Amino acid sequence: MGNSLEISNWSLFFSTGLLLMAIFVDYKQKLGLGNEIFIAGLRAVVQLFVIGYVLSYVFNLDNVLVTFAMVLFIVFNASYNAHKRSEGMPNSLRISLISLGTGTTLTLGLLIATGTIEWVPSQIVPITGMIASNAMVAVGLTYRALNDKFKDQRQQVLEKLSLGANEKQASMTIIRESIKTGMTPSIDSTKTVGLVSLPGMMSGLIFAGIEPTEAIRYQIVVMFMLIGVTSISSVIASFMSYKQFYNDQKQLISR
Q: Which residues of 109-125 are buried (b: 16+ CB within 10 A; e: fewer)?
A: eebeeeeebeeebebbb
pLDDT at 9: 80
Q: Dump pLDDT digits (tens) for 136-190.
A: 999 999 999 999 999 999 999 999 999 989 999 999 999 999 999 999 999 988 8
Q: Tell me the percentage of the chain whose pLDDT exceeds 90.
A: 64
Q: Is the pLDDT of residue 2 over 50?
A: no
Record the pTM: 0.83
d(CA 127, CA 235): 21
Q: What is the DSSP string of 140-181?
A: HHHHHHHHHHHHHTHHHHHHHHHTT--HHHHHHHHHHHHHHH
pLDDT at 227: 93
Q: Is the pLDDT of residue 10 over 90?
A: no
d(CA 225, CA 129): 12
d(CA 169, CA 252): 13
Residue 178, classified by CB atoms within 10 Å of its CB into exposed (0-12), middle (13-18) or buried (19+), is: buried
pLDDT at 106: 95
Q: Dump pLDDT digits (tens) for 37-78.
A: 999 999 999 999 998 999 899 999 999 999 999 999 999 999
d(CA 158, CA 210): 57
Q: Is the pLDDT of residue 195 over 70?
A: no
Q: Is the pLDDT of residue 1 over 50?
A: no
The mean per-residue pLDDT over the stretch 193-221 comes to 77
